[in-house]
A and B are shown apart, each in its own frame.
Chain A
Amino acid sequence: MSKDLDFRYLALAAVAGLIFGFGLYVTQMTDPLKVLHFLDFTAIPTGGWDPSLAFVMVSALIVMFVAVRVGRTWRKPLFDVRFNEPEFTRIDAPLVIGAALFGIGWGMSGICPGPAISLIAFWPQNLLIYLLALFVGSYGGSFVIPSGREKRLAMAQ
């Protein structure tokens, strides 16, 4: 049985979500144009490039890197029986193709899933269309790649 209705487990998810959304707004990565100004490398020679996203990634990575090191010395996380670490390690076609398709989708709008959901707070025009499409795309993908650890591992055999 999952810990899905454990109060501490859900409280932690709530606080973590709050901090993530707060942080995302502070970085201004909720603004698709800001992200596009990072992805637009053609602006580097003219001085119009915005490297902010790299600072976001590196600072988040440093904190998470330390947390992963700490976690390696623990038998289990605080509120569950095990770390849900992906055990599938092979570089396969779905990974490569999926990352490429996501890259196209991201480059077309400057929106990736985290900012997409936090944008609900601001409800810009056409966001609903984006979110519905995101959901449909994700659901479609689940027919190609099964969700869940057991199925994924079984596929890898």
Chain B
Amino acid sequence: MESFTPITATLGGLLIGLSAAMLWLGNGRIAGMSGIFGQLLPPGRTVVWRIVFLASLVAGAALAAWLFPALGNSPQLAAPPAWFTGGAPLWVAASGLLTGFGTKIGNGCTSGHGVCGLARLSKRSFVAVGIFFGVAILTVTLTGIV
């Protein structure tokens, strides 16, 4: 299997779960990235903790990369599939736009629906997770990006 890493995946996953658990039991907040990110603009009334959380998220990744550089501390964005002639910036922009818009109207992404929503046994999250994983797998297959 292509660099399957079950041990680090599980350890890191436990940390992600711990973070979500802390935010829930401590602050009563869902660790949903698209929500934390998407409500930074007005009329967001609770902006400070979102900025603190997101800045710490970046710092946490940087700290881990400094401690464990061997896990790969120079990730790159994937190149568009060969058939796409519009250039990488356009492809990347389309991906970001669809993700921003979709997670906004769908109320969540991999963390909010995927980790927190499923843990709350939310019906909406089960539907959302099924759809976005399914469509993402289909998209990778159809575009041939890998």
Mark A residues whose CB is within 8 Å of B: 2-5, 9-10, 12-34, 36-37, 39-43, 47-53, 55-68, 70-71, 74, 76-86, 88-91, 94-114, 116-122, 124-127, 129-142, 144-145, 147-148
Q: Given the complex, which residues of A lie within 8 Å of B122, measured CB to CB?
A: 86, 89
Q: Given the complex, which residues of A lie within 8 Å of B58, measured CB to CB?
A: 21, 117-118, 120-121
Interface of A is mostly: helix
Interface of B is mostly: helix
In this complex, what residue of A is CB-closest to B113? A99
In this complex, what residue of A is CB-closest to B7? A55
Q: How many inter-chain contacts with C-beta < 8 Å in the A-B complex?
A: 517
14 contacts between A and B (CB under 8 A): A12-B23, A15-B22, A22-B64, A23-B60, A55-B10, A59-B16, A74-B25, A81-B28, A91-B123, A103-B139, A113-B110, A118-B61, A136-B96, A138-B34
Residue from the list A13, A28, A97 in contact with B5, Cβ < 8 A: A28
Q: Given the complex, which residues of A lie within 8 Å of B52, measured CB to CB?
A: 10, 13-14, 17
Contact A18 B21, beta carbon cutoff 8 Å = no
Contact A98 B57, beta carbon cutoff 8 Å = no
A11, chain B: closest CB distance, angstroms: 9
In the assembled complex, the Cα of A147 lies from the Cα of B93 at a distance in Å of 23
B118, chain A: closest CB distance, angstroms: 6
Q: Given the complex, which residues of A lie within 8 Å of B82, measured CB to CB?
A: none
In the assembled complex, the Cα of A91 lies from the Cα of B101 at a distance in Å of 18
Contact B59 A138, beta carbon cutoff 8 Å = no
In the assembled complex, the Cα of A62 lies from the Cα of B15 at a distance in Å of 11
Q: Given the complex, which residues of A lie within 8 Å of B99, measured CB to CB?
A: 101-102, 105-106, 109, 111-113, 116, 134, 137
